[in-house]
Amino acid sequence: MSTLQEQFNNDGYVLLRNFLDKDIINTIYTDARKIFAAQIKRVTGKSVDIDDRDAFENAMFEFFEKDFNAFVNTGKTVQHTFSLHRLGVDPIIENVLKQVGLSNPIIGARAAMQFNSRFLSKDGSKHWKLDAHQDWRTGQGSLDSTVIWFPMVDAGADIGALQVIPGSHKTGLRESSTSGYQGGITAELKDEDFVQTEFQVGDILVFSAFLIHQSGNNITNNIRWSVQLRYNNLDEPTFIDRGYPMAYIYKPETELVTPDFPSVEQLKGVFS
Ligand SMILES: O=C(O)CCC(=O)C(=O)O
């Protein structure tokens, strides 16, 4: 067994330094900001420089306040970029999954991106950060189901990088107030058991879906942009025996989101 796998089995996670090409991460980050910038222009009338971090993020907050619905939909749209999904199936990712023991990895859920800031939450709600949880409850895949998490900006305690409880992946599936992402483990967990992770761009955290973890507290005025990739192992016997359950449900809206749209003329315009 490799030392990497031993460490992963023991602690439930490994933090790999300088693992991803910074340009690959920057492309994902840039694609997301460009998509937001297009809607920021529409909603606020402002053309923002996506590389002027504070100005761009202030424009994000303004967009959030002015058109929440469009903000939510744009937030969903940035989850669908080619760059993000290309990374999710990159051989470098496939190989690291194999190194920690997933002999036959398969995507567990769509690659996802988060942009955490208290300024992107309604009415002081805590929806921008996640309480202590185990991802297995939402994925319910193989027992060696694995998550890769990394920030697209340097991230330590102040900007709320993940906090994990080493070894907690071996303590079983814990009771939770929900099976979704809000809510969390109901048992009292000790603050001092959590380890605060810290990242430079390029570092990644690879962790068991049973590892107890939570969002850190982003006390800065900046957004903590991060990516999460989730995988199962097709060879894991209980996953096979349970018939490869897929607990993620993607479904279409039942109603037209833009009533009376499109007109025949609009369609003719597209195809003329
Ligand atoms: O990025 C975060 O703050 C939380 C992410 C997380 O815990 C998860 O995706 O399971």
Which CATH number belongs to the domain containing residue 202 in this structure? 2.60.120.620
Distance CA 114, CA 209 (A): 18
Would you state the pLDDT for residue 236? 98
Residue 258's pLDDT band (cuts 50, 70, 90): very high
CA of 23 to the centre of ligand 1 (A): 23
Q: What is the total count of domains within the chain?
A: 1
- Average pLDDT of the chain is 95
Name the residue range of residue 181's domain.
3-271
From 212, 213, 217, mutation site for ligand 1 pocket: most ligand atoms within 8 A of C-beta: 213
- What pLDDT digit, counting tens, does each position of 110-122 carry? 999 999 999 999 8
- The helix (run of H) or strand (run of E) holding residue 13 is strand 13-16
From 116, 228, 230, mutation site for ligand 1 pocket: most ligand atoms within 8 A of C-beta: 228
- The closest of 136, 225, 120 to 174, measured between CA atoms, is 136
- What pLDDT digit, counting tens, does each position of 62-90 carry? 999 999 999 999 999 999 999 999 999 99
Ligand 1 pocket, Cβ-based, cut-off 6 angstroms: 114, 116, 129-130, 135, 162, 213, 215, 226, 228
CA of 215 to the centre of ligand 1 (A): 6
Interval 207-227 mean pLDDT = 97
CA of 207 to the centre of ligand 1 (A): 11
Interval 106-111 mean pLDDT = 97
Residue 214 CA, closest ligand 1 atom number: 7
H/E/C letters for each residue in 106-172? EEEEEEEEEEECHHHCCCCCCCCCCCCECCHHHHCCCCCCEEEEEECCCECCCECCCEECCCHHHCC
Supply 130's token pair: 């996640």
Residue 123's pLDDT band (cuts 50, 70, 90): low
